Chains A and B, each alone.
Chain A
Amino acid sequence: MIAEAGLGALWLAASLSLLQLFFGFAALKPPAEELGRSVRPIAIAQAVTVVIAFFCLIDLFLRTDLSVRLVAENSHSLKPWLYKFAGAWGNHEGSMLLWVTVLAVAGAAVALFERRLNERTLIATLAAQATIGLGFYIFLLFASNPFDRLAPAPLEGNGLNPLLQDPGLAFHPPTLYFGYVGISIAFSFAVGALLTRDVGPAFARAMRPWVLAAWIFLTTGITAGSYWAYYELGWGGWWFWDPVENASLMPWLAATALLHSVTVLATRDGLRAWTVMLAVVAFSMSMIGTFLVRSGILTSVHAFAVDPRRGFFILILLALYIGGALTLYGLRVGTVKEGSTFEPVSREGALVLNNLLLSVVLGLVLVGTLYPLLTEAMGSKVSVGPPYFNSVAGPIALLLVAAMAAGPLLRWRRDRLKALGRRMAVPIALAVLALVALVLFAPGMRILPLLGLGLALGVGAGSLAPLWKRNLRRTPLFVYGMVIAHLGIAVSLAGMACESAFTVERLVAARPGDTVSVGPYHVRFAGVAPIAGPNWTAIEATLVASRGGGAPFTLTPQSRMFSAPPTETSETAIATRLDGQLYTVIGKPAEDGRWQLRLWWKPFVTLIWLGGAMIAFGGFLALIGRVLRSRRAARRGEEAYA
């Protein structure tokens, strides 16, 4: 019953999105303007029905209803509760349902809360949002139905990939999707504004909070995903330049560029056509990411589907939406009026530089990600890995970070380089000092980590500089947001540089009783013991670590054996200290009673994710600040009219 109810709700949501599309676009022409009034309620109803469908799926997974194909193929009655729940989106169909649910909820949020945008533009925006939704409803209903029945029902399900059986699964995909799919709002705003010829500062001010919100989710999702991969995979790395990771990085780069250019449009009425273009590009990156991840073209934990029709379908949707938006852009960009101008040395100039550099990094990542797919289509197999990405994107990213320190210190419209030099004197001195100290005391560092660490110190100081000599109590919240987010970039960069330069790794085969030293730690291998969990058994090693005269503590990495599906995974054990992490993995038994142990000492590695969290938190402060300020402005406006 529940499965049928879910399917019914999904069909209803699809029909509502069709209605929303027609009414929305029809309302643009004068005779049908009345229809526009129904678009907001329809958008909300569409979200409610698809959320019902999504809850139906979760219910099926919680009760492990094996007569539903999706549940039988991806779940198991003995799985812990949390993984039954989160397992609803740990598969292709479920994750696409989550995708479209987030899309509809984002559209409904716009319908509910957006009051500043011109009403016609808003309706066109909701119509564009419905167009995106409709394509994915069709995809779900005809090519990936999550509510498909299975007769006869099997006695037991296939289970969930054990690598996904981690609390991270409950958090990482929904967060990332809110960011990923939330970018669609920016796209729909851009399409709406092009349709009604409404591109201007008011449009930008209305769009900014939505872009900011999506960007916060995207930042959080990427940071969380990186940490999850770091502790779950047990390879000691935090970023692998895996195409799937790039698929989330590319929308982030585009959204970051958009966030900065939308500020120019909102504050100074510049970069009109460019901002609209970026909104289209940002969502294109989300679509390309969805295609890469969901088409089965890549093999990884994220790629559930290996059905070529599905990839083809997403590719067609991608071509339709992006092609359609670009065509509209080409037709209407002539009607977008010129914005105001600025000198090259100015805040606007710095933001343009930020946008150009971000676009270059984006281009480099995109080419590197797609290149293996293209060459494979032409018959030769190549792989593009960290050496490429680090060597091409690394230097430009460092340049970008340097520009980031200078940007906020420039005045709008026109400034002088000399004045900038004076304001930057302390940060530059700090960076140079750090570089000299590193060259003297840590010789033999590779060039990228060296520059990264030096720059991180200078940029950290530089990002605090906008608060210098300001009345801190009267500084608006969004300035704090910017400062914290920029400081977060510096913190994260410092973490990356330290991790890459100072990590110590030991790989040994040890007998119980042996002691291994790694970095400042002495780790005694006390022994192994078998233990059992709810749906796995494991070999657990006991490691007693101590540092100098400090109290010893115990780490228990495990090698787990899951029964459904039969898979081995390693569970790392990590000790976090203020100055880094001790990361331990137990491997296979070697012959003659020894066990493989892999230990890392990673100084300041936590800064990477602390920085990521600061970036997201800065975005959150900026969002609150902007929303409060616009509320206050609106209230003042009403009072003035009263």
Chain B
Amino acid sequence: MKAKNQRLTLLVLAIVAMLAAVLLAMSALRGQASYFYAPGDLAGQPLPVGKAVRIGGMVRKGSIRHLPDGVTITFTVRDETPNIIRVRFRGIPPDLFQEESGVVAEGRFQPDGLFVADEILAKHDENYKPPILDAKKHEHVTGEVR
């Protein structure tokens, strides 16, 4: 093989490989990326039952309950809207998990609207707030200005 041809072949191979990677990534992302819901996002739309999603908001005051097995808790997540999400979680919640503070949970909705969390994400920063709340506040402020 001539040198020039070889370089061209390699270039084509590299491009094909990268394209394949991006296509594969895109098709996988469509199936695997999990969407994020705040309680307010769920108003007036069907629940994504059975799909892996994330939810986030604030843990409502006084809503954390311990079930008799000692390792399962239930709590309610709220945001600025009247909507809430009920959550059940079996496991040790992260150290920063408490009432009136931000939470992000990963899991699936049951048909009855209960969210069964596989994992409560430990946002390691004690100042962490779910991004959706900050964004909402921001919208609110700009709305007033307008």
A interface list, Cβ under 8 A from B? 161, 163, 233-235, 271, 273-274, 299-301, 303, 338-343, 352, 356-357, 359-361, 363-364, 367-368, 371-372, 375-376, 380-385, 387-388, 391-392, 507-509, 565, 567-570, 585, 587-588, 590-591, 594, 596, 598
Contacts and interface: CB of A to CB of B under 8 A. Distances in A.
Given A342-B6, A383-B106, A385-B106, 18 more contacts: A161-B126, A163-B124, A233-B122, A300-B123, A343-B1, A359-B14, A360-B18, A363-B22, A367-B22, A376-B131, A382-B33, A382-B36, A383-B33, A384-B32, A384-B34, A388-B32, A508-B70, A568-B95
B54 A384 contact: no
B29 A569 contact: no
Nearest to A274: B10
Contacts of A388: 28-29, 32-33
A371 B33 contact: yes
B93 to A, nearest CB: 8
Contacts of A234: 92
B35 A356 contact: no
A376 B132 CA distance: 11
A509 B71 contact: yes
A359 B18 contact: yes
A508 B71 contact: yes
Given A387-B52, A596-B71, A368 B66 contact: no
Interface in B58-104: 66, 69-71, 90-93, 95-96
Interface in B111-125: 122-125
Nearest to A163: B124
Contacts of B13: 352, 356
A598 B26 contact: no
A352 B10 contact: yes
B33 A391 contact: no
B118 to A, nearest CB: 11
Given A340-B3, A596-B92, A363 B36 contact: no
A371 B34 contact: no
A338 B10 CA distance: 12
A10 B133 CA distance: 40
A384 B126 CA distance: 23
A365 to B, nearest CB: 9
A300 B124 contact: yes
Given A301-B124, A391-B32, A341 B90 contact: no
14 contacts: A163-B124, A274-B10, A300-B125, A352-B13, A363-B18, A363-B22, A371-B29, A384-B32, A388-B33, A392-B25, A568-B95, A568-B96, A587-B92, A590-B66
B106 A367 contact: no
Nearest to B18: A363
A343 B71 CA distance: 61
B70 A594 contact: yes
Contact of B126 (A508, A567, A596): A567
Contacts of B132: 381
B32 A596 contact: no
Nearest to B35: A382
Nearest to B2: A341
B131 A363 contact: no
B92 A391 contact: no
Nearest to A362: B21
Contacts of B3: 338-341
B20 interface: yes
A509 B70 contact: yes
B128 A596 contact: no
Contact of B34 (A342, A383, A585): A383
A364 B20 CA distance: 10
Contacts of A271: 10
A590 B70 contact: yes
The 6 closest A-B pairs by CB, nearest first: A509-B70, A590-B70, A587-B92, A363-B21, A338-B3, A381-B36
B17 interface: yes
A352 B52 CA distance: 38
B130 to A, nearest CB: 10
Contacts of B14: 274, 356, 359
Nearest to B34: A383
B69 to A, nearest CB: 6
Contact of A360 (B21, B35, B36): B21
A212 to B, nearest CB: 24
A382 B124 contact: no
Contact of B25 (A233, A273, A368, A565): A368
A367 B17 contact: no
Nearest to B19: A363
Contacts of A391: 28, 32
B137 interface: no
Given A299-B128, A359-B14, A508-B70, A341 B6 contact: yes
Nearest to A587: B92
B136 interface: no
A598 B92 contact: yes
Contacts of A352: 10, 13
B146 interface: no
A193 to B, nearest CB: 18
B71 A367 contact: no
Contacts of A367: 21-22, 25-26, 29
A339 B128 CA distance: 53
Contact of B69 (A235, A509, A568): A509
B24 interface: yes
Nearest to B127: A306
B4 interface: yes
Contact of B125 (A299, A380, A570, A596): A299
Contacts of A341: 1-3, 6
Nearest to B54: A383
A375 B26 CA distance: 13
Contacts of B18: 359-360, 363
B94 to A, nearest CB: 9
B119 to A, nearest CB: 8
Contacts of B96: 567-568
Contacts of A161: 124-126
B33 A381 contact: no
A275 to B, nearest CB: 12
B7 A359 contact: no
Given A273-B7, A352-B10, A364-B25, A570 B34 contact: no
A507 B119 CA distance: 14
A214 B54 CA distance: 38
Contacts of A590: 66, 70-71
A559 to B, nearest CB: 8
Contact of B71 (A274, A339, A385, A507): A507
Most chain A beta carbons < 10 A, residue from B18, B66, B70, B91? B70
B24 A569 contact: no
A442 B36 CA distance: 37
A387 B17 contact: no
A300 B122 CA distance: 9
A594 B66 CA distance: 12
Contacts of B6: 338, 341-342
Contacts of A274: 10, 14
A352 B7 CA distance: 12
Contacts of B25: 363-364, 367-368, 371, 392
